[in-house]
A = this chain, B = another copy of it.
Amino acid sequence: MNTAVHTPVTLADPDTPFAVVDIHPMRRNIARLKDRADGLGVTLRPHVKTAKSLDVAALLHSGTPCPVTVSTLAEAEAFADGGYTDITYAVGIDPHKLPRVVALLRRGVTLRLLLDSPEQATFVAEASRRAGTPLPTQIEIDCDGHRGGLRPEDPALPEIGRLLHDAGCLDGVLTHAGESYFAHTAEEQRLAARNERDTAVAAAERLRAAGLPVHIVSVGSTPTAHAAEDLTGVTELRAGNYVFFDLVMAGLGVCRVEDIALSVVVTVIGHRPEYGWILTDGGWMAMSRDRGTAAQAQDQGYGLVADLSGHLIPGLVMTAASQEHGTLTARDGADLPHLPVGTRLRILPNHACATAAQHRGYHIVDGTRRADPAPAIEHVWERVTGW
């Protein structure tokens, strides 16, 4: 998986477009949230859906497997192959997927499921009885109307808790403050974090009041994980995007632009001076169609533009994309720089999860050597794909 590069190559060598991860800000991002979780007295359970890489995950906890969150069973299986044994599958369970879940449990992996309805609790309890082993399961709690889950006061909550408990499956509660991606100030993010904690703890207390033991109280999103001031009653914190960060997170003030570890190397292939356009070979296939910053105060188009060393080019933005073409334009009165055909650039993404998903893997560089016009590629790391 961790493919050492034996011939010396740099970012000037592979054909474009390709994805680059700068290990320097990535290590800093990882340490920052680990220190926060330690300070808050909770277990950090990173969501590996962003990088989907065992090599990136090895940096999360000094090379040893840590608790992780996954978004697909393909990730769970790949991480189980990599020695990870404490995995939360944080998407509501579908009965069809239970055979793969049971197969992972039989391999010794504690794979935790998520659900929010009595019908799901019933089939999980039945599957546990058939398998002869309880399927550890968390109840999804809705803290902000973002997606799935039950409100703590929902009458179905103790009913589901009882169905799971009677089958030995009740493992805890889990919530995700998905609306925190739209919390545009530090104060709103603190409030979102407090609400996320309060809601999860209230749901756990409600279950406990019904005589149902709750071991895990899991919360998290990248904005709230960085804003939480008090996680009393919470046992674990989840976040995924923070490993790479992106322009959406920078727009929310959760990180700085220089903390963004993921970029895409593209090449200039043309110019339309009459329109003020520089054309590249990096379109939406390389960047994804994600335009998360369009809803923010500063729309960053399809991404900000840096030189091959990673230095931002002031005022240059990727403002349009077709499948294999990107269009760069100048804004705020900036001059369009002279970038001949063949010039390589790095585009910083709106949404790291979506941009990373367009690539098979990452070319790893160390940005502490920014004097290099073409940084050395130290490794090529693969991604987990599919479902």
Contacts and interface: CB of A to CB of B under 8 A. Distances in A.
B49 A323 contact: yes
A319 interface: no
Contacts of A92: 269-270, 279, 281, 325, 341
B267 A96 contact: yes
Given A279-B147, A357-B285, A95 B342 contact: yes
| Chain A interface helix/strand/loop/mixed | loop
Interface string A135-179: 000001010010110000000000000000000000000000010
A238 interface: no
User: Interface residues of A toward B: which range?
Assistant: 35 or more
A178 B322 contact: yes
A195 interface: no
A71 interface: yes
Contacts of A18: 387
A93 B267 CA distance: 10
A35 interface: no
A360 interface: yes
Nearest to A12: B96
Contacts of A286: 387
Contact of A148 (B116, B142, B325, B351): B325
A275 B149 CA distance: 12
A290 interface: yes
B15 A95 contact: no
A97 interface: yes
Contacts of A268: 94
Contact of A97 (B15, B271, B284): B15
Contacts of A342: 94-96
A272 interface: yes
A162 to B, nearest CB: 19
Contacts of A27: none
Contacts of A73: 15
B323 A353 contact: yes
A188 to B, nearest CB: 20
A73 B270 CA distance: 18
A69 to B, nearest CB: 12
B17 A272 contact: no
Given A94-B341, A96-B342, A354-B284, A269 B148 contact: yes
A100 interface: yes
Interface in A350-377: 351, 353-354, 357-358, 360
A30 to B, nearest CB: 20
Contacts of A119: 340-341
Contact of A91 (B49, B115, B281, B290): B281
B279 A148 contact: yes
Closest 5 CB pairs between A and B?
A289-B289, A92-B269, A94-B267, A289-B290, A148-B270
Interface of A: 15-18, 49, 71-73, 91-97, 100, 115-117, 119-120, 140, 142, 145, 147-148, 178, 267-272, 275, 279, 281, 284-286, 288-291, 322-325, 327, 340-342, 351, 353-354, 357-358, 360, 385-387
Given A91-B269, A94-B267, A289-B290, 14 more contacts: A16-B96, A16-B387, A17-B387, A18-B387, A92-B341, A115-B270, A117-B270, A117-B271, A117-B341, A119-B340, A286-B387, A289-B351, A289-B354, A360-B386
